[in-house]
């Protein structure tokens, strides 16, 4: 232990997104990684840190040099790094594990004790999802046979397709604002809490930051994306704080 440990939670940075031509999003994320204090025990990257990421056997995607260097520096300090696969970076396999000793989480969610509290963590895209179209896309992108075919194609074609798909998806949902009330993710948390009490549920994916007290006890946090700058939570000394979320103090 490093004294009073800290734990950080961040998602949906979408590094490499085309509307960040100036690199401001990457610079903000690098500044965040640099600000993580020595007493930090672990950082949980809850999916879609990259707008698109594929692990190839011999090739590392172009860009992200400064970010990858910061991941390595955190790991060298003894900070545990958890990478949850999101719907934009699901094709992460063993690169981060081999380079940084990171823990790559494929499960939809992970329940674990941290600092005397119980946390349920995940990206949030496939939890209790009631949308048939979304469920089909999730299954399609996670199909191991299709992933093998994809990785056999030239990387330039895959990147070109991924950027076009991501841009089309964003355009379709440009006016979308997530409402946690009555949502699948809220029902998931309420149902789980009846049989397995959790203090804090933290998810990303929906790009609309929120904080909700559960009727069954505990709290549900939805992290925002980084389109407007920093957005993260940290937990320390039995207190949860952060940047960019409603009713959260730094």
Banded model confidence at residue 3, pLDDT cuts 50, 70, 90: very low
pLDDT given at position 61: 74
Q: At 216, phi and psi to the nearest 5?
A: -85, 0
Question: What residue ranges define each of the domains in the chain, with the CATH number in brackets?
Answer: 6-243 (3.60.21.10)
Q: Quick one: which H or E segment has residue 149?
A: helix 144-152
pLDDT given at position 209: 92
Give 206 or 1, the one with higher predicted confidence. Answer: 206
> Of 71, 81, 88, 66, which Cα lies nearest the Cα of 12?
88
> Of 177, 207, 148, which Cα lies nearest the Cα of 17?
207
Residue 101 and residue 75 in contact, taking contact as beta carbons nearer than 8 Å? yes
The mean pLDDT value of the chain amounts to 85
pLDDT at 199 exceeding the cut of 60: yes
Tell me: the pLDDT tens digits for 41-85? 999 999 999 988 877 777 777 778 999 999 999 999 999 999 999
pLDDT given at position 60: 75
pLDDT given at position 212: 94
Average pLDDT, stretch 17-41? 90
Average pLDDT, stretch 242-246? 85
Average pLDDT, stretch 122-140? 71
Alpha-carbon gap, residue 44 to 33, rounded angstroms: 12
Average pLDDT, stretch 96-109? 93
Which residues are CB-neighbours of 18 under 8 A, at least 6 positions away? 163, 167
Q: At 42, phi and psi to the nearest 5?
A: -155, 150
């Amino acid at each position: 232990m490093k004294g009073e440990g800290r734990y950080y939670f961040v998602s949906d940075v979408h590094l490499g997104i085309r509307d960040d031509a100036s690199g401001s999003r990457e610079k903000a994320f690098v500044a965040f990684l640099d600000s993580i204090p020595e007493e930090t025990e672990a950082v949980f990257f809850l999916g879609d840190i990259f707008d698109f990421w594929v692990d190839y056997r011999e090739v590392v995607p172009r860009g992200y040099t400064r970010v990858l260097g910061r991941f390595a520096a955190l790991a060298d300090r003894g900070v545990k790094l958890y990478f949850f696969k999101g719907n934009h970076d699901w094709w992460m396999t063993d690169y981060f594990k081999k380079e940084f000793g990171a823990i790559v989480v494929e499960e939809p969610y992970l329940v674990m004790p941290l600092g005397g509290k119980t946390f349920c963590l995940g990206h949030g895209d496939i939890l209790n999802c009631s949308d048939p179209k979304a469920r089909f896309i999730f299954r399609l992108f996670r199909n191991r046979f299709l992933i093998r075919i994809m990785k056999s194609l030239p990387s330039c074609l895959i990147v070109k397709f991924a950027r076009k798909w991501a841009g089309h998806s964003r355009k379709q949902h440009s006016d979308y604002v997530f409402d946690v009330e009555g949502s699948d993710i809220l029902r998931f948390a309420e149902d789980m809490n009846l049989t397995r009490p959790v203090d804090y549920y933290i998810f990303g994916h929906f790009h609309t930051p929120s904080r909700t007290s559960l009727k069954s006890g505990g709290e549900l946090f939805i992290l925002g994306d980084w389109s407007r700058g920093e957005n993260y939570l940290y937990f320390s000394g039995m207190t949860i704080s952060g940047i960019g979320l409603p009713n959260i103090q730094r």
